[in-house]
Amino acid sequence: MDNAGIEEMFQGLGPVTVKRMFGGKGIYHMGRIIAVEVRDEMLLKADETSAPEFAAAGATQWAYEGKKGKPVKMPYWSIPEEAYDDPDLMAKWVRLAYEAALRAE
């Protein structure tokens, strides 16, 4: 996804900064990372407070295979499909990501 598309996706939250990282992109709002783009998939930050809401909406948690072959779960979740067609719903999810970033401090 190009930076203009990312900025549009997060417009319900406000201005974002996009930085290259780990072969993907990190998306920041007010200096806090709120999302990553990995392998052309946008993943939003979540925590123990917001993760159940992501799971209930059918989102999946990002995990990669660790050194011993066991999955390592990261604090990033896929965006529920219906949010891609509804700017108000997308705004809800990106706000949840920002709230998780604030709690991580």
Q: How far is CA 4 from CA 15, 17, 18, 43, 75, in A?
A: 11, 11, 10, 17, 25
* Number of domains, the chain: 1
pLDDT of residue 52: 98
86 is in which domain, residue-wise? 1-101
Q: What value does the mean pLDDT take over residues 13-26? A: 92
Global confidence as pTM: 0.92
Instruction: Name the more confident of 8 and 105.
Output: 8
Question: What's 97's domain CATH number?
Answer: 3.30.1460.30
Is a pLDDT exceeding 90 seen at residue 23?
Answer: no
Q: Are 28 and 10 in contact (CB under 8 A)?
A: no
